[in-house]
């Protein structure tokens, strides 16, 4: 149902520009679906080529079933020599390829997207895209694809990063207080890293956009959102919580019948997201831990950052060819194919989620009130794990290693924590209030729904004003 249209307003027309990786693409697809359902015309600008097969599949499936209000516009990237950038991460390199092609967006927006109300850009691209959008005279908004806590860090980092070179073991972020240095994304400790350059440039540009949309909600991160909007971190435009954005239901991903045969709230779902790959040694310790826990489990296993490189990996080789799959038959299921994570978390058999704390995974767990055992691996995930624990959604063993650390988390430790995760009805019920608050935020009259409706109404009024001005002699 569309929101009421103010007098003089017109149908908002919004262009969305995501970047690379499922963690960045997913909130854009969800926002596109929500905006279309709320009466907006949406143009999804899709950079090509993409990094992962999952991105290509999800874009195609989304467009095949999307509202007629959603259209796609292909953005062909210029050839990019990866050797010219100081990173080997395929996703950071894709961010840079899109940024270096940003000047091509001006003619694309002017010719293919007439009468736009706004352009909504991924935060990882904003410093390169903002001048292009400004040149064609359009309002420019950002989707920040992580937590409000990470947004506070992103905005504070450009001016405070000089302190990283000293002896301090904490990093001051207004609105969050002091963070341990080892909670920061690993590349930020290297000023020459490509990601650090992008992070600093984008953090500075966030103060100059028209608004920042973020997939969170007041009940989960109210303190941090209030600090951001009060100017405690920097003089920002409005930070607009629009979460939790509901998942777009895929039609092409089959369900998992195995779950239907398991007792209620007995299964631990194990997944580290679309671009997190554990070492072979840690994968085997994880397998040993799940076996020793005695708990039922569904494990979405992955060994490569980019899913196209994972295709030839055999499960027996990945898990250690010692009969693990045979021993776990009936009690545990290991899959390598893409799963519908939202459907898994919604299933009554699932009682806990061993999770890397990618932000989309956190919001999906919250929607369904599934308790999280946080094991952050890289990037924003330690800050997100802090939000998980602080908000009552789960627990975070802060001593567990992450990408680049030499230490392994032992099978015995994993087993103990997994048993705690689903060991009693009280443990499984602990996250239920978080789920109730998340659902209320997104419902009619909820805080996030109202914030989004107000923004849509604003876009409609602005478009009407600009169009009236264009018709005057």
- Burial of residue 49 (CB within 10 Å: 0-12, 13-18, 19+) is exposed
**Nearest-CA neighbor of 272 among 310, 246, 242, 243?**
310
Give me the residues paired with residue 72 across strands. Answer: 44
Quick check: 270 and 300 in contact, CB under 8 A? Answer: yes
pLDDT for 165 equals 63
pLDDT in tens, the chain (473 residues): 555 455 445 889 999 999 988 889 999 999 999 999 999 999 999 999 988 888 888 899 899 988 999 999 999 999 888 777 777 788 888 888 899 999 999 988 887 666 899 999 999 999 999 999 999 889 999 999 999 999 999 999 988 776 676 667 888 888 787 889 889 998 888 888 888 989 999 999 999 999 999 999 999 999 999 999 999 888 999 999 999 999 887 656 677 899 999 999 999 999 998 766 788 899 999 999 999 999 999 999 876 655 544 555 567 667 776 788 889 998 999 988 778 899 999 999 999 999 999 999 999 999 999 999 999 998 899 999 999 999 999 999 999 988 878 789 999 999 999 999 987 777 768 899 999 999 999 998 999 999 999 999 999 887 756 554 433 22
pLDDT for 469 equals 41
pLDDT for 470 equals 39
Pairing of strands 239-241, 267-271: unpaired
- Burial of residue 287 (CB within 10 Å: 0-12, 13-18, 19+) is buried
pLDDT for 251 equals 58
pTM (2 d.p.): 0.91
- The CATH code of the domain at 13-248+445-465 is 3.40.50.2000
Quick check: 174 and 152 in contact, CB under 8 A? Answer: yes
Among candidate residues 41, 58, 122, 368, the one labeled active-site is 122
Question: Treating both helix axes as pointing N-terminal to C-terminal, what angle do 432-442 and 218-229 enclose, rounded to 10 degrees?
Answer: 60
What is d(CA 393, CA 433) in angstroms, rounded to the nearest whole number? 9
Q: How is residue 161 written in tokens?
A: 């990063």
CB neighbours of residue 251 within 10 Å: 9
pLDDT for 472 equals 29
Residue range(s) occupied by CATH 3.40.50.2000 in the chain: 13-248+445-465, 257-434
How many residues comprise the chain? Answer: 473
Q: Is position 235 annotated as part of the catalytic site?
A: no
CB neighbours of residue 5 within 10 Å: 16
pLDDT for 466 equals 55
What is d(CA 245, CA 236) in angstroms, rounded to the nearest whole number? 23
**Nearest-CA neighbor of 361 among 373, 184, 293?**
373
3-state SS track over the chain: CCCCCCCCCCCCEEEEECCCCHHHHHHHHHHHHHHHHCCCEEEEEEEECCCCHHHHHHHHHHHHHCCCCEEEEEEECCCCCHHHCCCCCHHHHHHHHHHHCHHHHHHHHHHHCCCCCEEEEEHHHHHHHHHHHHHCCCCEEEEECCCHHHHHHHHHHHHHHHHHHCCCCEEEECCCEEEEHHHCCHHHHCCCCHHHHHHHHHHHHHHHCCEEEECCCHHHHHHHHHHHHCCCCCCCCCEEECCCCCCCCCCCCCCCHHHHCCCCCCEEEEECCCCCCCCHHHHHHHHHHHHHHCCEEEEECCCCCCHHHHCCCCHHHHHCCCCHHHHCCCCEEEECCCCCHHHHHHCCCEEEEEECCCHHHHHHHHHHCCCEEECCCCCCHHHHHHHHHHCCCEECCCCCCCCCCCCCCCHHHHHHHHHHHHCCHHHHHCCHHHHHHHHHHHCCCCHHHHHHHHHHHHHHHHHHHHHHHHHCC
pLDDT for 276 equals 67
CATH number 3.30.1480.10 given to 257-434 = no
What is d(CA 460, CA 39) in angstroms, rounded to the nearest whole number? 10
């Amino acid at each position: 149902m569309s929101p009421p249209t103010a007098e003089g307003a017109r149908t908002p027309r919004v262009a969305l520009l995501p970047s690379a990786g499922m963690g960045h693409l997913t909130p854009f697809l969800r926002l596109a679906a929500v905006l279309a359902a709320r009466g907006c015309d949406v143009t999804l600008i899709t950079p090509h080529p993409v990094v992962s097969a999952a991105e290509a599949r999800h874009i195609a499936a989304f467009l095949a079933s999307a509202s007629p209000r959603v259209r796609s516009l292909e953005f062909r990237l210029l050839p990019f020599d990866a050797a010219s950038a100081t990173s080997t991460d395929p996703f950071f390199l894709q961010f840079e390829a899109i940024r270096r092609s940003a000047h091509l967006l001006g003619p694309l927006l002017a010719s293919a997207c007439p009468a736009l109300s706004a352009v909504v850009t991924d935060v990882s691209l904003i410093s390169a895209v903002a001048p292009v959008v400004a040149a064609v005279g359009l309002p420019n908004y950002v989707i920040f694809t992580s937590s409000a806590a990470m947004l506070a860090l992103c905005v504070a980092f450009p001016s405070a990063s000089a302190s990283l070179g000293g002896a301090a073991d904490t990093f001051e972020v207004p609105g969050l207080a002091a963070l341990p240095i080892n909670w920061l994304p690993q590349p930020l400790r290297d000023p020459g890293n490509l990601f650090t350059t992008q992070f600093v440039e984008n953090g500075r540009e966030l103060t100059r956009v028209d608004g920042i949309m973020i997939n969170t909600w007041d009940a989960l991160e109210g303190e941090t959102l209030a600090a951001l909007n009060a100017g405690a971190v920097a003089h920002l435009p409005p930070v607009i919580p629009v979460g939790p954005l509901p998942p777009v239901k895929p039609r092409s991903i089959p369900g998992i019948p195995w779950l239907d045969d398991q007792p209620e709230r007995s299964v631990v779902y194990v997944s580290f997201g679309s671009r997190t790959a554990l070492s072979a040694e840690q994968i085997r310790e994880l397998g040993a831990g799940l076996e020793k826990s005695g708990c039922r489990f569904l494990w979405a296993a992955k060994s490569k950052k980019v899913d196209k490189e994972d295709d030839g990996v055999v499960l027996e080789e990945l898990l250690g060819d010692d009969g693990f799959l045979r021993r776990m038959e009936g009690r545990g299921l290991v899959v390598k194919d893409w799963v519908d994570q939202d459907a898994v978390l919604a299933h009554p058999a699932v009682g806990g989620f061993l999770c890397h704390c990618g932000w989309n995974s956190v919001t999906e767990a919250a929607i369904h009130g599934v308790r999280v055992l946080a094991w952050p691996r890289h990037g924003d995930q330690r800050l997100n794990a802090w939000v998980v624990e602080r908000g009552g959604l789960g627990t975070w063993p802060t001593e567990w290693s992450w990408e680049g650390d030499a230490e392994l988390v032992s099978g015995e430790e994993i087993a103990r924590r997994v048993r705690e995760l689903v060991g009693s009805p009280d443990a499984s019920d602990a996250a239920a209030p978080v789920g109730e608050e998340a659902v209320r935020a997104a419902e009619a009259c909820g805080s996030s729904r109202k914030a989004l409706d107000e923004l849509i109404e604003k876009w409609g009024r602005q478009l009407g004003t600009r169009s009236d001005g264009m018709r005057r002699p």
